[in-house]
Amino acid sequence: MGYRACFDIGGTFIKFAVVSEAGELFLQGKTETPTKDVTMYIPQILSEKVAYFREYYPIENIGISSCGIVDHNKGVILFSANIEGYSGLPLAHEISEFTGLSVSVENDVRSACLGEMWLGAAQGKENVVLLTLGTGVGGAIIQNGRLVSGAGNLAGELGHMSIIHNGENCPCGGKGCFERYASTSSLIRYYQTIVGKEESIDGKEIMSKIKQGETAAIKAYQEFIDYLSTGLVNIAHLFNPECIIIGGGITEQGESFINEVNSKYKEKVMPLYRESTKIVLAELHNDAALYGAFVHAGNFVKK
């Protein structure tokens, strides 16, 4: 049985595990992402963890999921807004030098999409889109079994497709971006606008207020679902995937959430797409990117 050392590097934590070809996770855990001298400490942390893994399992190679924009061909972090000083790090080369093993590096949302294809909501499917809803909206696209990276490794920035002409300003420099209307952050903003004050609240608290029947929370949620469904329709019409997977904390609402999304989506989408493109919930949650790291480390998806 093959074993790979897999990592998921985020702005707050680095998650890790030995992943088997049967999809089992061993020696799983997490450590805080360093905030200083990251070009030295991140390779060091990962390499030391690989050495530890090798005491217990015959590690074949290494898969790394990372926040930011990644050149997966070279294993270089092109840009990261979440980890200061991380941009430009030749991560694959550094880890390979330390360990002597081959190293694959891919963006975290793309990794999560690969994980869902292997063991999650998209098993057996060849055409898949993943959306992650949080502070922003992340995206990944797989067509005919191939991860779509684009000419500059920039494909999949679905959160920055414009859905409102001359809409709200986005930190990316654009206007009317999807994530300004369909992220968890936007749901919070809708609620604050309706109640007339910027009280400190998170998405889970708003969902709790909805269950309690609070009018303001319900109205904010309906606006959020309306914009989210508009983006989903655009994605369906553009790519016609077998499924669009939605992940992120807000999806913990489960069936009630996905049923409302599907209802609004089917109102708007062209009739032929209602059956060919399904909207489904992510299944692997916080482990998706670790599973995806195993996949791209083994070239599971054709390149």
Asked if pLDDT for residue 167 goes beyond 90, the answer is: yes
With H, G, I as helix, E, B as strand and everything else as coil, classify residue 195.
helix
Asked if pLDDT for residue 80 goes beyond 80, the answer is: yes
Average pLDDT over residues 281-288: 95
Place of tokens 């209307």: 181
- How large a percentage of the chain has pLDDT more than 70? 98
Asked if pLDDT for residue 208 goes beyond 50, the answer is: yes
Mean pLDDT of the chain: 94
Average pLDDT over residues 226-249: 97
pLDDT band at 300 (very low <50, low <70, confident <90, very high): very low
Q: What is the pLDDT of residue 197?
A: 80
For the segment 87-143, what is each residue's pLDDT rounded down to a tens digit? 999 999 999 999 999 999 999 999 999 999 999 999 999 999 999 999 899 999 999
Residue 210 structure tokens: 């909805």
Q: What is the pLDDT of residue 250?
A: 83
pLDDT band at 198 (very low <50, low <70, confident <90, very high): confident
Within 13 Å of residue 25, how many CA atoms lie on the same side as its CB? 19
Average pLDDT over residues 31-48: 96
Asked if pLDDT for residue 282 goes beyond 60, the answer is: yes
Burial 159-170 (b: 16+ CB within 10 A, else e): bbbebeeeeeeb
List domains and CATH numbers for the chain: 3-112+287-297 (3.30.420.40), 126-283 (3.30.420.40)
Please give the Cα distance from 99 to 114 (Å, whole number).
25
Q: Are 141 and 148 in contact (CB under 8 A)?
A: yes
Task: Find residue 69's DSSP bridge partners.
Answer: 79
Q: What is the pLDDT of residue 302?
A: 38
Burial 204-213 (b: 16+ CB within 10 A, else e): eebbebbeee
pLDDT band at 66 (very low <50, low <70, confident <90, very high): very high
Asked if pLDDT for residue 303 goes beyond 80, the answer is: no
Q: What is the pLDDT of residue 16?
A: 99
Q: What is the pLDDT of residue 266?
A: 97
Higher model confidence: residue 196 or residue 215?
Answer: 215
Q: Which residues are CB-contacts of 106 (< 8 A; sequence separation ≥ 6)?
A: 63, 64, 65, 66, 70, 72, 114, 147, 292, 293, 296
Q: What is the pLDDT of residue 254?
A: 82
Average pLDDT over residues 206-224: 95
Q: What is the pLDDT of residue 296?
A: 95
For the segment 5-38, what is each residue's pLDDT rounded down to a tens digit? 999 999 999 999 999 999 999 999 999 999 999 9
Q: What is the pLDDT of residue 301?
A: 37
For the segment 182-193, what is each residue's pLDDT rounded down to a tens digit? 999 999 999 999
Asked if pLDDT for residue 253 goes beyond 90, the answer is: no
Q: What is the pLDDT of residue 290?
A: 98
Please give the Cα distance from 143 to 240 (Å, whole number).
9
